[in-house]
Structure 1
């Protein structure tokens, strides 16, 4: 039978957000993260409601199937609690939350997942992603339309296709039962980590010879070092020999304390939640859209139009830049043809139009007139001047220089 050797939960508001809408739970056998969405509409309320309800599933079950049914039932019950809360507080309409949960059952773990938070498993220093994001960009990746790297920066990366919230009465929750063994290290995290820190860096931190709490702290720090544009919550669980005595459950994030919201809700509501009509917090960028083929096709068409517009804009600026370069070159060449200088051609004094320099293979000067004055007949000083070229601002000035050279021969 597998046991929890150590666990840790850490949550941070990040560097941009003004409030923490994430929640995390590290219990005796149950561990999960919940990433709220809704901004003014109460993402922190949604994740706290889900945390308090799902935490009730932290107990022992007779079998894996019963544990899976209980965990899925806890998520669906949390969905009902959120819906009931919105019914009583219309200002919270549109709030929702992701949940990625793991329940230890004998030598197996039961997974329940909805949204874009993630569960990873490190085994033999190899990290693998266990859950699949319920996002629009993940569907594009699955369809082969974009790569995983492109999904990280896609403008629709914040669109969720499945969440717990007041939209669906029975949302689809992914569940699975997997084997676990001593030495396994599990990670549950919000997209504040997975959307900022590269996979390879997460694997390196997870594989470090350090305790669960130290690893959790390092993961959060990696997100902060990367800018942490969103809240970041991580729960790390090490499987092995159990410590003695068993540590009490740990709750972090918005569910760690009652939400300061004015009037308390009815006793039947989830514990620790009090609500008020309004809170001055910024709107969360992550949002939910129905998981339908019509919406998927519509967004794909919009994505195609966006790429076309982007190509058109880039093409326009490239053409404009090329035109500017051509114009500058043409004007510069025209200016050079207004200049003249006196130099040597076939051993004689000559007048050239242009400037002495060349632009790569392009000559910026040409012979205008070759005189009958031999360079050898000039004084030594004048010979050196002509060989080094004498600049003139105009044709008349160049001809005057030639006249003076000719007069010096008399």
Structure 2
């Protein structure tokens, strides 16, 4: 019985970016995703060069260990190729790419990974993330400094610490060999998917959509429906135990499927390296992306900077709250002072009186009080005058209120 794979690769530019910097490949033995970085003139070139170089290992190997070594060498050589390309084309300075690749050898797979693209395994109804993100927040989680829940909303949740490119001559590439079984489904994706589609939805799709192309299409659509601004690339591989050994033709998607050109923002200023590598997680125009090598000193610097930023946010928030409270209190004081400049004539304990304030109140709080009582009894007033006083009579000012009292007194004496 021959273990074969049925696979599909799909890529979409996303809702914000003007070009696709992802590349994906579904071959006979090799399956991979590369997510480029470095701006319009670099990201697509980086992922395309890496993919075109790495797919040379899409062949049979005597053992998974041989495949693992060949895959590691292919990624390292791709890193050299990217550096050479930048040397020949200085306008591409700072370009780089993530790579996550699966190379199948019978009932085993060799895996190579660098960056924040991911490899998942769906087996027996369970989904497992096989690779570990090479991101700043993942380092914080691993060191116990923050939780996974905090990492999901951390302001630096997409800062990458490792990539292939002209930023590191000897990048640290994760490799491993795992067993694969008939019925397994492997899924490789760029962060355009993993940042916008929950693992619950990925699990549901892989569990309920048997065809690889349909599953990949569903996952890409889920990401776009959730507003993914970044490029989205998905490769799905079904491990089959049937006797059908016919293989489908290799499929290349994304920037690697287009002719390789070095045109773009040629006149742009080359970014200073290194600083930060960011993949946007919100549906806003992506910021320029850069790289910073992985080091404890840099991690500590970022942590200190995040703490300072958090303190500034707390101070700003507290200041805004205090200003809002001050504005409300000032507004209330001004409003109350205005009410106390108003006067009206009304009834108090059966007599006519001048009130200071306004007739309306705020809940149980009265905004008026008797300012000048009189000796004019309501019962001594004509019916119309009495009902007018009981309904209150507005006055322009205190003098006007006293004039109204004089007229009412005259009416009472008739």
Same fold flag (TM > 0.5): yes
1:330 aligns with 2:333: yes
Contact 1:2 1:108 in 2 (8 A): no
Q: After superposition, what is the alpha-carbon deviation per residue over 1:86-124, rounded to whole angstroms, capped at 9, x for unaligned? A: 233322222111001112222232221100111112233
1:375 aligns with 2:378: yes
Are residues 383 and 183 of structure 1, via their aligned partners in 2, closer, same or farther at CA, if it must alter by over 3 Å?
A: farther
SS at match of 1:405: helix
Inter-partner Cα distance in structure 1 for 2:346 and 2:203: 71
Are residues 277 and 399 of structure 1, via their aligned partners in 2, closer, same or farther at CA, if it must alter by over 3 Å?
A: closer
Cα deviation for residue 142 of structure 1 reads 2.5
Inter-partner Cα distance in structure 1 for 2:23 and 2:186: 17
Contact 2:13 2:19 in 1 (8 A): yes
Gaps of 5+ in 2: 270-284
Are residues 331 and 48 of structure 1, via their aligned partners in 2, closer, same or farther at CA, if it must alter by over 3 Å?
A: same
Contact 2:36 2:97 in 1 (8 A): yes
Cα deviation for residue 150 of structure 1 reads 4.2
2:102 is matched with which residue? 102
1:159 aligns with 2:159: yes
Cα deviation for residue 226 of structure 1 reads 2.6
TM-score by length of 2: 0.89
1:192-207 equivalent positions in 2, closer than 5 A: 192-207=192-207
1:287 is matched with which residue? 290
Inter-partner Cα distance in structure 1 for 2:131 and 2:163: 14
SS at match of 1:402: helix
1:384 is matched with which residue? 387
Are residues 280 and 289 of structure 1, via their aligned partners in 2, closer, same or farther at CA, if it must alter by over 3 Å?
A: closer
1:54 is matched with which residue? 54
1:270 is matched with which residue? none
Cα deviation for residue 294 of structure 1 reads 1.0
Inter-partner Cα distance in structure 2 for 1:386 and 1:277: 81
1:129 aligns with 2:132: no
Gaps of 5+ in 1: 262-274
1:183 is matched with which residue? 183
1:43 aligns with 2:43: yes
1:302-317 equivalent positions in 2, closer than 5 A: 302-317=305-320
Are residues 333 and 276 of structure 1, via their aligned partners in 2, closer, same or farther at CA, if it must alter by over 3 Å?
A: closer
1:266 is matched with which residue? none
2:276 is matched with which residue? none
2:266 is matched with which residue? 278
TM-score by length of 1: 0.90
Shifted more, 379-388 versus 363-372: the winner is 379-388
Query: Residue 398 of structure 1 is aligned with which of 395, 398, 401?
Result: 401
1:358 aligns with 2:361: yes
Contact 2:183 2:241 in 1 (8 A): no
1:346 aligns with 2:349: yes
Cα deviation for residue 52 of structure 1 reads 1.4
Cα deviation for residue 31 of structure 1 reads 0.7
Query: Residue 407 of structure 1 is aligned with which of 385, 407, 410?
Result: 410
Cα deviation for residue 26 of structure 1 reads 0.4
2:246 is matched with which residue? 245
Cα deviation for residue 14 of structure 1 reads 1.4
Contact 1:40 1:283 in 2 (8 A): no
Contact 1:89 1:277 in 2 (8 A): no
SS at match of 2:309: helix
Inter-partner Cα distance in structure 2 for 1:403 and 1:4: 107
Inter-partner Cα distance in structure 2 for 1:390 and 1:373: 15
Cα deviation for residue 33 of structure 1 reads 0.1
Inter-partner Cα distance in structure 1 for 2:34 and 2:71: 14
Q: After superposition, what is the alpha-carbon deviation per residue over 1:331-355, rounded to whole angstroms, capped at 9, x for unaligned? A: 0000000111222211111221101
Contact 1:9 1:235 in 2 (8 A): yes
Cα deviation for residue 286 of structure 1 reads 3.2
Cα deviation for residue 148 of structure 1 reads 3.5
CA RMSD of aligned residues (A): 2.4
SS at match of 2:193: helix
Cα deviation for residue 237 of structure 1 reads 1.1
1:268 is matched with which residue? none
Contact 2:40 2:265 in 1 (8 A): no
SS at match of 1:202: helix
The number of aligned residues is 397
Shifted more, 138-147 versus 12-21: the winner is 138-147
Cα deviation for residue 297 of structure 1 reads 0.9
1:272 is matched with which residue? none
Cα deviation for residue 157 of structure 1 reads 3.3
